[in-house]
Structure 1
Amino acid sequence: MPELVGTDEDDYLTLNYNGFVPLLTKAMQEQQTEIENQQKEIDELKAQLEMIMKMMQSDMSDKTDNKKAENNQKPVKLSMATVK
Structure 2
Amino acid sequence: MRSHHILNAASNLLGVTFVIITGLHLTTDTRHTFADEIALAAAIALTASCFFSYQSIRGGPNWCEAVADRLFLTAQLMLLAAVTTLWQK
Q: Aligning the two structures, in what range does the TM-score lie when normalised by the shorter sequence? A: 0.3 to 0.5
Structure in which a larger fraction of residues adopt strand: 1
**TM-score in terms of structure 1 length:** 0.34
Q: Which has the larger radius of gyration?
A: 1
- Considering fraction of residues, name the structure with more helix: 2
Tell me: higher relative CO, structure 1 or 2? Use CA pairs within 8 A at least 6 residues apart. Answer: 2
